[in-house]
Structure 1
Amino acid sequence: MRTRVIQDEPEHRPATPEPRPGLAAWVRDHRLTTFFVLAFGLAWWGWPLYQLDIWPRQAFQAVGALLAALIVIAVAEGRPGFRDLGRRMIRWRVPWYFYAFALGLPLLVRFAAVLVNSGPTPEWGDLAWTSFALMFLIRLVNPLDGPMAEEPAWRGFAVPRLQERRSPLVSAVILGVLVALWHLPLVGDTGWIGIAATFSITIVYVWLFNRTGGSVLLVLLFHNTQGFITMGDLNYAGADLARQELIEFVIWSVVAAVLVAVDRAAWRGNPRPPSDGVA
């Protein structure tokens, strides 16, 4: 697959400040390890307390992933690291069809699953489309919600560093496993199918991130579109809900498999597009 990606500057690892002794030096040498440990710890802290009846409610803090990335960047990279993440956050100069992919595919998957599902068809005219539009905008900037809490961290921080020593496919598989495990406290809400679907969707996220020259903005739009119309909005419950989640898992797994099989060049070697913008 050949795609045109427009960039203002070549991708590179943020410059590293001069070595400092102690904990900062260890974090600098183990950035990914530190990031993942912090991401799990900051997001999960309330889960074991809830299981032990010490904490009154199950507190899963999605913002823990974002905080983990910011902490590691502050300690290990400083301003160059923040500039690199900031550029990725506003990288919008990509071909239009990637916007269509990010905004259209999640809706296509959800509504295709609705058509396949043998349960009751939602009353489309009764859905609060104005409220959906407002929710879409809020989720784009709310650091306590999934898109803004996760995308700068998993894609903006973790993927480039995983791919320094690994192929994009291996990096995507590693990240998919870790992100799926990170969501375990939500298994009561999503079910095990939801956890498995997280792995499949991560493959799609990594493909989109790499093919847009490392744009966090595009994967943020993708994540936001994927979740702003919920199963509850479609009035699914019980067996209908379980069937809908299973169908979506199958569809996302097929999408991930197709991207791996068809766009093989995206999964080998250096994922960065050449400076002339052609990948």
Structure 2
Amino acid sequence: MTAIRKHPLVAFFVLTYVIGWGFLPFGSFGAFAPLVAALVVVPIAQGRAGLAELGRRLVRWRVRWWWWVLAIGVPLAVHLVAAGLGDPSPIRSVAWGDVLLVLLIRLVDPTDGPLGEEPGWRGFALPGMQARLSPLAATAVLAVVVTVWHLPLVFLEGGDHRSTLAGMIIGTVGVTFWYSWLFDRTGGSVLLCIVAHAVEGAIQDDTVLYFTVWLLLAVVLVVADRRRWLGRAPAAATTSLPGVGVLR
């Protein structure tokens, strides 16, 4: 308990890895680990105030309407761009009724990526890191942590491991920057990140080309908005609670 209070971010990352990877011997993966880790660490390290702050981020829906359009439209646009570049994406012949059903399930399923990951990565870890680091530095560190955490999925899914591994690394880094940008630009809305994450995964596309488009989008976001990336994150996207700092 004392260690968690002194080093909440380290405790969160360790617990996320332990829970997520703890299912590997059984041929599975704990995608809900970041959510569980946050729900364990936050009340111990930050008490009720921390839980209240996390809760506000989870239900922060009152943002400009165009952020909702971007949260839904950008992932779809990435699919379309990849398909236009020659990616054999399922978006060419997708059954939109099935996509909508998958999207709705992903929005409410805590064992899946959107609801299982975003409250931890964006709701807890990113604000704590941005309290001491620039958004660019915090996101770069988080991208490494999130990417390594996802790597076992490559070997669970089978197939061409080298190709899948390359796509996993490129894509995870790219979407991490996208989610951070969306989170900061919406004043710390985890809800918008959950929606964007759910839309991104509602259409399965694991090709390297598709993931490369995400990485290129991340580069565009950093270059076009570099002052914000190198400055301070908005107050709502950081935490002023005690006990939270860079990997403390």
Could you say whether these structures have the same fold, taking a TM-score greater than 0.5 normalized by the shorter chain as the test? yes
User: Max radius of gyration: which structure?
Assistant: 1
Matching residue's letter, 1:265:
R
* Most deviating of 169-178 and 198-207: 198-207
Displaced runs of 4 or more, over 3 A: 118-123
Matching residue's letter, 1:77:
Q
Residues 183 and 190 in structure 2, CA contact (< 8 A), matched pair in contact too: yes
Establish whether residue 79 from structure 1 lines up as the match of residue 48 from structure 2: yes
Displacement of 1:195 after TM fit?
A: 2.6
* Most deviating of 32-41 and 104-113: 104-113
Q: Distance in 1 between matches of 2:103 and 2:89?
A: 25
Establish whether residue 117 from structure 1 lines up as the match of residue 94 from structure 2: no
Alignment RMSD (CA, Å): 1.8
Q: 1:150 aligns with which of 117, 123, 128?
A: 117
Q: Which 5+ residue runs of structure 1 have no aligned equivalent?
A: 1-23, 50-56, 232-240, 275-279
Q: Distance in 1 between matches of 2:200 and 2:234?
A: 26
Displacement of 1:260 after TM fit?
A: 0.7
Instruction: Show the counterpart of 2:202.
Output: 228
User: What whole-Å deviation, never above 9, does each CA across 1:111-135 have from its counterpart, x for those lacking one?
Assistant: 22112126588663xx332222122
* Aligned 1:179-198 pairs, distance under 5 A: 179-188=146-155, 189=157, 190-198=164-172
Identity of aligned residues (%): 43
Q: Work out the number of aligned pairs and report it.
A: 229
Q: Distance in 1 between matches of 2:20 and 2:54?
A: 21
Residues 207 and 266 in structure 1, CA contact (< 8 A), matched pair in contact too: no
Q: Secondary structure at the match of 2:63?
A: coil
* Aligned 1:2-151 pairs, distance under 5 A: 24-47=1-24, 49=25, 57-117=26-86, 119=88, 124=93, 127-151=94-118
Residues 35 and 69 in structure 1, CA contact (< 8 A), matched pair in contact too: yes
Residues 63 and 149 in structure 1, CA contact (< 8 A), matched pair in contact too: yes
Instruction: Show the counterpart of 2:245.
Output: none
Residues 71 and 193 in structure 2, CA contact (< 8 A), matched pair in contact too: yes
User: What whole-Å deviation, never above 9, does each CA across 1:30-78 have from its counterpart, x for those lacking one?
Assistant: 000000000000000132x3xxxxxxx4121111111111100121112
Q: Which 5+ residue runs of structure 2 have no aligned equivalent?
A: 158-163, 237-248
Q: Distance in 2 between matches of 1:40 and 1:121?
A: 31
